[in-house]
Structure 1
Amino acid sequence: MNGVRAGASGSPVLLLHGIGGSSASFESQVDVLARRHRVFAWDAPGYGGSADPARADLGWFAEVAARVFDEPAHVVGVSWGGVIATRLALEHPVLSLTLADSTRGSGTSADSARRMRARVDELAQVGAQEFARRRAPRLTTDPATLVKVEATMARVRLPGYRAAAESMAATDHGPVLGRIAVPTLVVVGADDRVTGVEESRLLAREIPGARLRVIGGGHAANQERPEEFNDVLLGFLSEVEAARCA
């Protein structure tokens, strides 16, 4: 599994990117987190330098993610990465769960699933660069962040994106959110036009004990507002660590 590793000590933190991202999506988080933790920002199967996926179901992605560390980790997932993180928390031991601009999955309705699968056809028809040019402006309105988001999305590969989209289209975690039994933080950009603030409110409401933080920025809030995002995340992780040691 390819990705970016940093940090020599502390509890592990696993960073899971969105469907149009890669480990590069966490360039503003890795070094900050590595001051206190051992960090791995993965390239999901089919993304970045990682091999193409063997399967297209969410449980398999979660199983692969669970093998990154040989011990439970704090899991931080953005968008699709948050859906993987949710399944990871449901099926494997984790220290905590952070869902950033995420969702229950795209299987909440037939129309939502259809629209997710249609993205694959669009990518196949127009190619990654044009696909990124069309979709990246939905993730952020900040010019500097837009350049980064579009450049990362322009490197997506069809096999990885197809598997990711299918895993999303087949998933609705809504009925099982109440089973999550780890400390959970839900973070969302106030201007998120992709998954939206209300979806994050639902996640926070349905996950027992979860807290919600609305910060600045859009769907790519961790990249658009890194200082605000990092402060919220580090504060949450510090609280979880303090409770573990109490």
Structure 2
Amino acid sequence: MKQNNQTMPPQPTAELLRALDSGFTERRVAVGADGAQMAYRCGGGRGPLVVLLHGISSGAASWLPCASLLAADARVIAWDAPGYGNSQALPGAAPTAADYAQRLQALLHALDLRPDVIVGHSLGALMAAAYIAQAGPAQLPARLLLLSPAQGYGGPGKEGKAQEVARQRLDALAALGVEGLAERGPGRLLSAAASADAQAWVRWNMRRLDPDGYRQAVAMLCGDAIDDYLGRRAPGVSVWAGCGALDVVTPPPGCAALAERFGLPFELIPDAGHACYVEQARSVARWIRSGLAGYAI
């Protein structure tokens, strides 16, 4: 009988999972007129409110290492976007970033919270940009941080690229399933020097993807674009951009070009790939903390 010599990839440490349950607990709330269920995680106890939005291949729990570092200075909320985790999906197969932003408004309204800083990573940056383009004054943050922002493929002249990206992502999901996507995820989302713990955390979070929620997010990525929202952003909201220096998903030149188009301060996160808030949690937490300047922390 042939022996199976394959070894299981490293799993998140028991200590990390205990911290997730004890210090970054999941809560659920019904939001909006239709009572849609939204799941989110909370950390910290007092201070300014930081809202964290994950990207297309992740979820609220992925922010744990970074959120834990912020907890001493701020209250932290990370949502599971619609169609992720225990958050109810949006209606329709092809929602826009504005639809996700409207659900975020409903969540914060249900919790009676006004964010001081919103951090959007990757596809979450597109959602966050839509949020500051349409939220009312009582729900606007003072600052938005775009971290390795996905810019979307819905702009003029990008129809071919949008179709190609959608096909590649949906074909990969069909061929590999969520488990297969999770196994190859660290190689794409982290730098070659990423620790085994960072790789395990990326896999653990990707294994929790919902295929239908992922398909909706792919449709949004390929059908919408960040420039329109940033062009309509509310006055008075300060916007910064940052990117992992080793990011191959949203590479630094593209992020820097976005920052230049809109006159945004731009920061490189050293020694980090796309999931920079996992790989270099301390550097990203330091950057977010600098965005809290002026608040009593």
TM-score, normalised relative to structure 2: 0.75
Once structures 1 and 2 are overlaid, which stretch shifts more, 108-117 or 81-90?
108-117
Query: Which one of the candidate residues 184, 196, 214 is aligned to 1:134?
Result: 184
Distance apart, 1:37 and its partner CA = 2.3
The CA deviation string for residues 138-165 of structure 1, in whole angstroms up to 9 with x for no partner, is: 1112142222112211221111101111
Count of paired positions: 240
Distance apart, 1:204 and its partner CA = 1.5
Distance apart, 1:7 and its partner CA = 2.6
Equivalent residues of 1:177, 1:203 under 8 A apart: no
Q: How do 1:158-197 residues align onto structure 2 when only pairs under 5 Å count?
A: 158-180=211-233, 181=235, 182-197=237-252
Structure 1 letter corresponding to 2:154: G
1:62 aligned to 2:101? yes
1:11 aligned to 2:24? no
Give me the whole-angstrom Cα distance separating, in 1, the residues matched to 2:85 and 2:258. 29
Query: Which one of the candidate residues 170, 182, 198 is aligned to 2:253?
Result: 198
Equivalent residues of 1:128, 1:154 under 8 A apart: yes
SS at match of 1:39: strand
Question: Residue 122 of structure 1 aligns with which residue?
Answer: 172
Q: How do 1:19-34 residues align onto structure 2 when only pairs under 5 Å count?
A: 19-34=56-71
After TM superposition, the runs of 4+ consecutive aligned structure 1 residues lying more than 6 A away are none
Distance apart, 1:72 and its partner CA = 3.2
Equivalent residues of 2:69, 2:282 under 8 A apart: no
Distance 1:195 1:111, change over 3 A: farther
Give me the whole-angstrom Cα distance separating, in 2, the residues matched to 1:39 and 1:163. 26
Query: Which one of the candidate residues 257, 260, 269 is aligned to 1:215?
Result: 269
Larger radius of gyration: 2
Q: How do 1:46-57 residues align onto structure 2 when only pairs under 5 Å count?
A: 46-55=83-92, 56-57=95-96
1:102 aligned to 2:139? no
Structure 2 letter corresponding to 1:167: M
Once structures 1 and 2 are overlaid, which stretch shifts more, 126-135 or 83-92?
126-135
1:81 aligned to 2:124? yes
TM-score, normalised relative to structure 1: 0.90
Give me the whole-angstrom Cα distance separating, in 2, the residues matched to 1:229 and 1:121. 33
Equivalent residues of 1:120, 1:158 under 8 A apart: no
Once structures 1 and 2 are overlaid, which stretch shifts more, 55-64 or 102-111?
102-111
Equivalent residues of 1:25, 1:152 under 8 A apart: yes
Q: Percent identity?
A: 30
Distance apart, 1:112 and its partner CA = 2.9
Equivalent residues of 1:53, 1:159 under 8 A apart: no
Equivalent residues of 1:21, 1:153 under 8 A apart: yes
Question: Residue 133 of structure 2 aligns with which residue?
Answer: 90
Distance 1:176 1:127, change over 3 A: closer
Query: Which one of the candidate residues 114, 124, 146 is aligned to 1:72?
Result: 114
Question: Residue 199 of structure 2 aligns with which residue?
Answer: 146
Distance 1:62 1:113, change over 3 A: same
Equivalent residues of 1:6, 1:40 under 8 A apart: yes
Distance apart, 1:174 and its partner CA = 2.3
Distance 1:177 1:52, change over 3 A: closer
Give me the whole-angstrom Cα distance separating, in 2, the residues matched to 1:132 and 1:116. 18
Equivalent residues of 1:83, 1:105 under 8 A apart: yes
Give me the whole-angstrom Cα distance separating, in 1, the residues matched to 2:48 and 2:153. 32
Give me the whole-angstrom Cα distance separating, in 2, the residues matched to 1:200 and 1:60. 24
Once structures 1 and 2 are overlaid, which stretch shifts more, 79-88 or 1-10?
1-10
Equivalent residues of 1:21, 1:156 under 8 A apart: yes
Structure 2 letter corresponding to 1:124: A
Structure 2 letter corresponding to 1:122: A
Distance apart, 1:198 and its partner CA = 1.4
